[in-house]
């Protein structure tokens, strides 16, 4: 409805419609309220103007009226709250089989790493109709990933991952803006989200990465950085076996249980002694300052891929070897 | 000169012109001090909040940091401050009983305790400095969790630093009151300033009562 | 231009003593109010100048007037100056200082010397701010988010933080003074339920000032310490959490907006009653609503952080609470409207401003409902929608209420009347200019234009041009009162004690009042806004 009015951006995601619907409802409600109140004020001002000889009538108040105009607005507000909370809940709950794109924001550009290995700067290609989950972090200050046409926005923080998801519903090119002030060229940290038909997207994909998939890159790093020395995949070494770990609860040395999500894996690489797995010693060296954000993303993608197997697989996971190396089954 | 024509024939020379009675003046100044102390609670509260957040995140580092506090100096300082609050209260009581000399003596002893506290803190600070425990300036930590222990020490220096600043101000206030007490300004009829300074002093003491266990006693076991 | 033959001027607080020293060392709350009036007007024009430069740059999509860094400094310092050196002190420190003792029948505030100290702290903070501005400025955004402000900028962050820290103590002391004064210095018979709502409003404000400002103080201190000593409190690489800063900052800065608006609401209640000749509709509800806003205002701070990385459940809680805090504000708007019903309405300048306030505050407040709605906030936060929302409330609400109050009490403050024609004209210019400036920004925001953008995408240009046009009109509107109010101090019609026939103890004193306000301490036996008694046919002698 009203697609071409210059009052809102094009609706290009699955949630844009519901956001706009609530917006239009609120506009209407507030319009009605304003017109109502302003009309009453105008009518009273004119009808009871002193220049026509009106004298004031002493009126103290009316508890009934006060209660009415306390609880009716409260009721309306709670209705709006529930409606908007439902939208928010959907916006914050990515569907389970979303495609993932790792994002690193830095002053003043957006770097994207597709799972398949493509890297993009300031441009993000996605297929129409597919759920896409952005896993984002910042290299420096707080940024914010904002695509008005999708009606999504999420702050991107240094030191942790934040996520946002969308399903593009309309092919086209849409603005990407940084929406958290981040220094000199904050207003230049803009880009495009290019939504393509599935066939076009496949073509674009195959034009892409020489380096292999993100998790392959991660696997290479896992070996070259020496992770595989302690984190053996065939048995328990000095460090926990990471097979099947991602997404599951982990019991820590201090008794807490946490879920092994992206932030957990990231923290465990950068600052391993923050959360030590029960039964292990805090001997893993920290990799803070040694790995870049992009490398971290690759490692996280790799650890994730170790859980893509049927659970209970005790043998070596079935992975493609990094390009140029012979496959090895033991490390 | 338009002075208020409602001046009562015999009024207390300490009555300020905009108050209608000494009682109103004293009520007002005491309420003022309480409101001010509430603002101080909010001020220190911000730091306590930050401390609690990081203690939750980094308990092991907090434990480490606390073990490197000087337990004995901290405990002595706590006793010193508690004694100073006692002498402060006795000073207020002496004023209420028109005992000028006692008042001055108690106030001066309070100051001595305050100075002792600051002296001990200076010793502790010196120790932490020579151990390279000042984040940013000379930090060097041989053990694990270095940057997290640095966070602990940041809070230590900030919280005890602001506390010490308040102690210095407090000592200044007590000195001011002691001088006026010596000049005979306070009596059973007018002891309100002594009381108010006493309130401030007790507050600074209470802040330390919270700081001490949070900084010195984490996971502390006797011996 | 000869003045009318003037009778020998009665002694009042203005002519009691002359000379700079008599002003700089005064303890008279009325003189201190004027000292504040001068200083906040100065900062208003500094902040306004920055705003004009911002709007000029935004005429075109490209960044072609100033450099990007300069633009970032402009919006930062516009915000800091306007919030901390104009909006926070304006009504309390000028009108509150002047009127509260008068309204409650006291000779001065509880602590006159602390009042003067408050002003000096404000000036010292202001000097630090001027130092910052003159020496290259600061570009953190008025919100100082870390780690940008602690690690990535080399502008005068510490100086700006210190400026605000010191000004914050000015605010705390003013609040402390008001609380003690209102509790302890009311004249006999002036019970809490007889207090003018202006006093209630400043009381509620003072509670926020006293509880909230110290948290800002320690937060800015931590930012300064982090910069100076390179601590890691907010630095993720050292284990710190940037979100901790945001929680601490917004814990103060959200209630701060209520510090800004509550006194304005108090002003509007005084004016609406006077110019409808009626008691306020629902006095008790109005007073309770003020306190409710102050209390609830402390519980909603993270609605500035819905997408900052807080948990879903936190966001839900803060959204719900934000809807709760909207209710008392709505009640006030309904009550002001109901006060006009069967009133006797006149349209002097203060009333025009007050009506403008009600309209614009309603619009601004309603747009708050959009922002509290989680699903919508995701789209509009950090865009021009937020900017429009808070300018509707701050400028359309607060500044207009401030001007309303200045005009209403001008005869009391200066002993002169302002010229009514120019007053009405300026009010209308301001109203038109304001709406033209800020309404387009709602649309810009929903269309996706982010805030703090030096350059922007071309499709946003038309609305930006409209907004800038409005800003120039608004600027004219603001300059007019400066000119004619100053003019009136010398050439304006002399005012008598109560030119509006208003209720309220302040109107029983001379215009201007004497230094000690009342020749005899009043004894109050009437309710607030007793217009029905005041306007009654005069067979019955008035109770004053």
- Residue A311: per-residue pLDDT: 37
Give exposure, C146-157, as e/b (b: 16+ Cβ within 10 Å): bbbbbbebebbb
CA distance readout (Å), A36 to A28, A40, C90, C344, C400? 12, 6, 31, 21, 22
- Chain A residues touching residue B60 (CB < 8 angstroms): 254, 273
Identity of the residue in C112, C229, C239 whose CB atom sits nearest the CB atom of B137: C229
> A63-91 and A16-47 are packed helices; what angle lies between their axes, rounded to 10 degrees?
160
Give exposure, A105-135, as e/b (b: 16+ Cβ within 10 Å): bbbbbbbbbbbebbebeeebbbbbeebbbbb
Indicate the class that CATH gives domain C27-530.
mainly alpha
Find, among C86, C158, C170, the residue nearest to C122 by Cα. Answer: C170
Chain C interface test: which of A181, A183, A290 (most C C-beta within 10 Å): A181
Cβ of A282 and B59 within 8 Å? no
Cβ of C239 and B136 within 8 Å? no
- CA–CA distance, C157 with A55 (Å, rounded to integer): 58
Residue B2 pLDDT class (50, 70, 90 cuts) = very low
Strand partners for A113: A102, A119
Find, among C264, C166, C164, C256, the residue nearest to C212 by Cα. Answer: C256
Strand partners for A163: A135
The DSSP bridge pattern shows strands A152-156 and A143-147 to be antiparallel
Find, among B79, B82, B215, B201, the residue nearest to B160 by Cα. Answer: B215
- B: neighbours with 3+ CB pairs under 8 Å? A, C
Mean pLDDT of A275-294: 88
Q: Omega of the bond prior to A258 within 30 degrees of 0, cis?
A: no
Q: Over 50: is that where the pLDDT of A327 sits? A: no
Q: What predicted TM-score, i.e. pTM, was given to this entire model?
A: 0.92
SS3 A288: coil
Strand stretches in chain A, DSSP E: 99-106, 109-114, 119-121, 123-127, 131-138, 143-147, 152-156, 162-167, 172-178, 190-196, 249-251, 257-259
Enumerate residues 280 to 299 of chain A having a beta carbon within 8 A of any beta carbon in chain C: 288-289
- CA–CA distance, A19 with B39 (Å, rounded to integer): 42
Say what the alpha-carbon torsion angle C294, C295, C297, C300 is, to the nearest 10 degrees.
180
Residue B59's contacts (CB-CB under 8 Å, 6 or more residues apart) are: A254
Question: What percent of chain A lies above the pLDDT cut of 70?
Answer: 90
Residue length of chain A: 331
- Residue A319: per-residue pLDDT: 37
Give exposure, C289-299, as e/b (b: 16+ Cβ within 10 Å): bbbbbbbbbbb
Q: What is the pLDDT of residues A46-86, one digit of tens each?
A: 999 999 888 989 888 999 999 999 999 999 999 999 999 99
- Chain B residues touching residue C509 (CB < 8 angstroms): none
Q: What is the pLDDT of residues C410-425, one digit of tens each?
A: 999 999 999 999 999 9
Residue C237 pLDDT class (50, 70, 90 cuts) = confident
Q: What is the pLDDT of residues C138-148, one digit of tens each?
A: 999 999 999 99
In a domain, B143, yes or no: yes
Residue B126's contacts (CB-CB under 8 Å, 6 or more residues apart) are: none
C217 close contact with B: CB closer than 8 A:
yes
Q: What angle is formed at CA A57 by the lines to CA A53 and CA A61, rounded to 5 degrees?
A: 145
In a domain, B78, yes or no: yes
Q: Quickly tell me which residue has 């930050």 as its tokens.
A: B50
Furthest CA-CA distance within chain B: 75
In a domain, B21, yes or no: no
Q: Quickly tell me which residue has 């000292």 as its tokens.
A: C35
Q: What is the mean pLDDT of chain A?
A: 88
In a domain, B23, yes or no: no
Return the CATH number at B72. Answer: 1.20.120.80
Q: What angle is formed at CA B157 by the lines to CA B152 and CA B163, rounded to 5 degrees?
A: 125
Q: What is the pLDDT of residues C459-487, one digit of tens each?
A: 999 999 999 999 999 999 999 999 999 99
- Range scoring the smallest mean pLDDT among A224-238, C206-220, C472-486: A224-238
In a domain, B17, yes or no: no
Q: What are phi and psi of B133, to 5 degrees?
A: -115, 35
Q: What is the pLDDT of residues B163-182, one digit of tens each?
A: 999 999 999 999 999 999 99
Chain A interface test: which of C68, C143, C148, C250 (most A C-beta within 10 Å): C148
- Residue A318: per-residue pLDDT: 33
C113 close contact with B: CB closer than 8 A:
no
- CA–CA distance, A268 with A272 (Å, rounded to integer): 4
- Residue A281: per-residue pLDDT: 86
Mean pLDDT of C58-79: 96
- Residue B136: per-residue pLDDT: 84
Question: What percent of chain C lies above the pLDDT cut of 90?
Answer: 92
Which strand (E) or helix (H) includes residue A321? Answer: none
H helix runs in C185-305, sequence order: 197-229, 242-274, 283-296
- Residue A234: per-residue pLDDT: 80
Residue C4 pLDDT class (50, 70, 90 cuts) = low
Structure tokens at A120: 């993009």
A318 close contact with C: CB closer than 8 A:
no
Cβ of A22 and C278 within 8 Å? no
- Residue C8: per-residue pLDDT: 60
Furthest CA-CA distance within chain A: 100
Cβ of C382 and A144 within 8 Å? yes
Residue C544 pLDDT class (50, 70, 90 cuts) = low
C232 close contact with B: CB closer than 8 A:
yes
Q: What is the pLDDT of residues C293-311, one digit of tens each?
A: 999 999 999 999 999 999 9
Cβ of A6 and C447 within 8 Å? yes
- Residue A321: per-residue pLDDT: 37
Q: What is the pLDDT of residues C158-198, one digit of tens each?
A: 999 999 999 999 999 999 999 999 999 999 999 999 999 99
Find, among A66, A94, A262, the residue nearest to C339 by Cα. Answer: A66
* Residue ranges of domains in chain C: 27-530
Is the distance from CB of A257 to CB of A248 less than 8 angstroms?
no
Give residue B105's domain range: 34-216
Structure tokens at A177: 């803006």
Structure tokens at C194: 């007889």
Residue A207 pLDDT class (50, 70, 90 cuts) = confident
Q: Over 60: is that where the pLDDT of C3 sits? A: no
Cβ of A44 and C347 within 8 Å? no
Domain total in chain B = 1
In a domain, B212, yes or no: yes
In a domain, B50, yes or no: yes
- A: neighbours with 3+ CB pairs under 8 Å? B, C
Cβ of B135 and C232 within 8 Å? yes
B1 close contact with C: CB closer than 8 A:
no
A328 against B57, higher pLDDT: B57
- Residue A235: per-residue pLDDT: 77
SS3 C360: helix
Strand partners for A99: A132
Enumerate residues 193 to 252 of chain C having a beta carbon within 8 A of any beta carbon in chain A: 236-237, 239, 241-243
Cβ of A37 and C333 within 8 Å? yes
SS3 B133: coil
Cβ of C218 and B18 within 8 Å? no
Cβ of A274 and B144 within 8 Å? no
- Chain A residues touching residue C268 (CB < 8 angstroms): none
In a domain, B4, yes or no: no
B193 close contact with C: CB closer than 8 A:
no
- Residue A316: per-residue pLDDT: 31
- CA–CA distance, C437 with C331 (Å, rounded to integer): 28
Report DSSP letters for C413-439, one per residue. HHSBPPPHHHHHHHHHHHHHHHHHHHH
Q: Over 70: is that where the pLDDT of B7 sits? A: no
- Residue C543: per-residue pLDDT: 59
Cβ of C214 and B42 within 8 Å? yes
Question: What percent of chain A lies above the pLDDT cut of 90?
Answer: 68
B154 close contact with C: CB closer than 8 A:
yes
């Amino acid at each position: 409805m009203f697609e071409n009015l210059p009052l809102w951006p094009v609706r290009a995601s699955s949630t844009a419609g519901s956001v706009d619907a609530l917006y239009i409802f609120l506009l209407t409600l507030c319009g009605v309220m304003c017109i109502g109140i302003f009309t009453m004020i105008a009518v009273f001002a004119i009808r009871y103007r002193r220049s026509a000889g009106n004298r004031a009538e002493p009126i103290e108040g009316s508890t009934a009226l006060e209660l009415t105009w306390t609880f009716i607005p409260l009721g309306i507000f709670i209705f709006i709250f529930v409606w908007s909370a439902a939208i928010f809940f959907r916006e914050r709950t990515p569907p389970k089989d979303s495609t993932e794109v790792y994002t690193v924001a830095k002053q003043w550009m957006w770097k994207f790493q597709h799972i398949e290995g493509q890297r993009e700067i300031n441009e993000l290609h996605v297929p129409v109709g597919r759920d896409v989950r952005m896993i984002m972090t910042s290299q420096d200050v707080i940024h914010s990933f904002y695509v008005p046409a999708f009606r999504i926005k999420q702050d991107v923080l240094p030191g942790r991952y934040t996520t946002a998801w969308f399903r593009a519903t309309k092919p086209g090119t849409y603005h990407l803006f940084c929406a958290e002030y981040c220094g000199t060229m904050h207003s230049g940290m803009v880009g495009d989200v290019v939504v393509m038909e599935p066939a076009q997207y496949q073509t674009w994909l195959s034009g892409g990465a020489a380096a292999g998939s993100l998790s392959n890159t991660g696997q290479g790093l896992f070996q070259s950085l020496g992770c595989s020395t302690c984190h053996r995949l065939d048995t328990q070494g000095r460090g926990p076996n990471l097979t099947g770990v991602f997404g599951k609860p982990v019991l820590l040395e201090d008794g807490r249980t946490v879920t092994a999500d992206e932030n957990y894996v990231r923290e465990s690489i950068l600052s391993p002694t923050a959360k030590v797995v029960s039964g292990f010693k805090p001997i893993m060296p920290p990799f803070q300052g040694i790995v870049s954000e992009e490398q971290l993303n690759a490692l996280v993608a790799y650890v994730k891929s170790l859980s893509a197997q049927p659970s209970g697989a005790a043998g070596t996971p079935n992975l493609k070897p990094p390009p140029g190396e012979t496959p090895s089954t033991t490390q | 000169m338009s002075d208020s024509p409602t001046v009562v024939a015999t009024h207390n020379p300490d009555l300020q012109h905009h108050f209608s009675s000494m009682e109103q003046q004293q009520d007002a100044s005491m309420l003022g001090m309480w409101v001010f102390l509430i603002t101080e609670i909010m001020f220190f509260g911000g730091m306590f909040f930050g401390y609690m957040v990081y203690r939750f995140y980094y308990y092991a580092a907090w434990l480490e940091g606390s073990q490197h506090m000087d337990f004995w100096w901290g405990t002595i300082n706590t006793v010193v401050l508690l004694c100073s609050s006692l002498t402060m209260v006795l000073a207020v009581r002496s004023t209420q009983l028109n005992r000028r000399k006692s008042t001055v003596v108690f106030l001066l002893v309070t100051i001595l305790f305050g100075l002792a506290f600051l002296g001990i803190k200076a010793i502790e600070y010196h120790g932490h400095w020579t151990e390279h425990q000042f984040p940013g300036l000379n930090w060097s930590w041989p053990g694990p969790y270095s940057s997290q222990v640095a966070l602990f020490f940041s809070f230590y220096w900030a919280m005890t630093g602001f506390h010490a600043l308040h102690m210095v101000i407090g000592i200044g206030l007590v000195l001011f009151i002691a001088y006026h007490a010596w000049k005979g300004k306070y009596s059973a009829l007018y002891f309100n300033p002594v009381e108010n300074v006493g309130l401030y002093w007790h507050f600074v003491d209470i802040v330390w009562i919270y700081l001490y266990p949070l900084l010195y006693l984490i996971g502390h076991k006797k011996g | 231009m000869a003045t009318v033959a003037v009778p020998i001027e009665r002694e009042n607080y203005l002519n009691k003593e002359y000379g700079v020293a008599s002003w700089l060392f005064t303890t008279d709350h009325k003189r201190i109010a004027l000292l504040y009036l001068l200083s906040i007007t100065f900062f208003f024009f500094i902040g306004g100048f920055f705003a004009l430069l911002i709007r000029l740059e935004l005429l075109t999509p490209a960044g072609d007037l100033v450099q990007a860094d300069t633009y970032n400094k402009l919006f930062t310092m516009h915000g800091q100056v306007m919030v901390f050196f104009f909006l926070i002190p304006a009504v309390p420190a000028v009108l509150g200082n002047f009127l509260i003792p008068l309204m409650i029948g006291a000779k001065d505030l509880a602590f006159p010397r602390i009042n003067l100290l408050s002003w000096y702290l404000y000036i010292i903070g202001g000097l630090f701010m001027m130092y910052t501005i003159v020496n290259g400025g600061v570009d953190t955004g008025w919100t100082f988010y870390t780690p940008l402000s602690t690690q990535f900028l080399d502008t005068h962050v510490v100086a700006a933080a210190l400026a605000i820290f010191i000004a914050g103590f000015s605010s705390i002391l003013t609040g402390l003074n008001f609380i003690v004064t209102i509790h302890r210095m009311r004249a006999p018979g002036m019970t809490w339920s007889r207090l003018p709502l202006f006093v209630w409003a400043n009381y509620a404000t003072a509670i926020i000032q006293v509880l909230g400002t110290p948290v800002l103080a320690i937060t800015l201190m931590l930012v300064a310490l982090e910069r100076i000593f390179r601590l890691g409190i907010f630095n993720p690489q050292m284990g710190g959490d940037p979100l901790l800063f945001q929680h601490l900052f917004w814990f103060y800065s959200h209630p701060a907006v209520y510090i800004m608006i509550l006194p304005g609401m108090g002003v509007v209640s005084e004016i609406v009653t006077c110019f409808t000749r009626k008691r306020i509709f629902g006095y008790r509800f109005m007073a309770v609503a003020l306190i409710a806003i102050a209390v609830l205002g402390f519980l909603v701070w993270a609605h500035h952080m819905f997408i900052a990385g807080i948990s879903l459940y936190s966001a839900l809680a803060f959204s719900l609470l934000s809807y709760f805090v909207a209710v008392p504000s709505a009640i006030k708007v309904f009550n002001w409207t109901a006060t006009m019903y069967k009133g006797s309405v006149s349209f002097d300048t203060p009333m025009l401003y007050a009506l403008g306030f009600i309209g614009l505050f309603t619009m601004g407040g309603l747009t708050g409902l959009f922002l509290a709605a989680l699903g919508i906030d995701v789209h509009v936060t950090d865009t021009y929608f937020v900017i429009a929302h808070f300018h509707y409330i701050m400028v359309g609400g607060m500044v207009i209420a401030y001007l309303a109050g200045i005009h209403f009490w001008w005869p009391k403050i200066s002993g002169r009347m302002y010229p009514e024609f120019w007053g009405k004209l300026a009010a209308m210019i301001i109203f038109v200019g304001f709406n033209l400036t800020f309404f387009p920004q709602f649309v810009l925001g929903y269309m996706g234009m982010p805030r703090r953008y030096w350059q922007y995408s071309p499709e946003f240009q038309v609305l930006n041009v409209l907004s800038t046009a409005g800003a120039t009109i608004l600027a004219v509107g603001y300059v007019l009162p400066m000119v004619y109010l100053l003019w009136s101090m010398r050439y304006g019609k002399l005012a008598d004690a109560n030119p509006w026939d208003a209720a309220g103890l302040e109107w029983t004193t001379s215009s201007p009042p004497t230094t000690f306000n009342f020749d005899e301490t009043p004894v109050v036996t009437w309710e607030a806004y007793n217009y029905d008694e005041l306007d009654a046919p005069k067979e019955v002698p008035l109770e004053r």
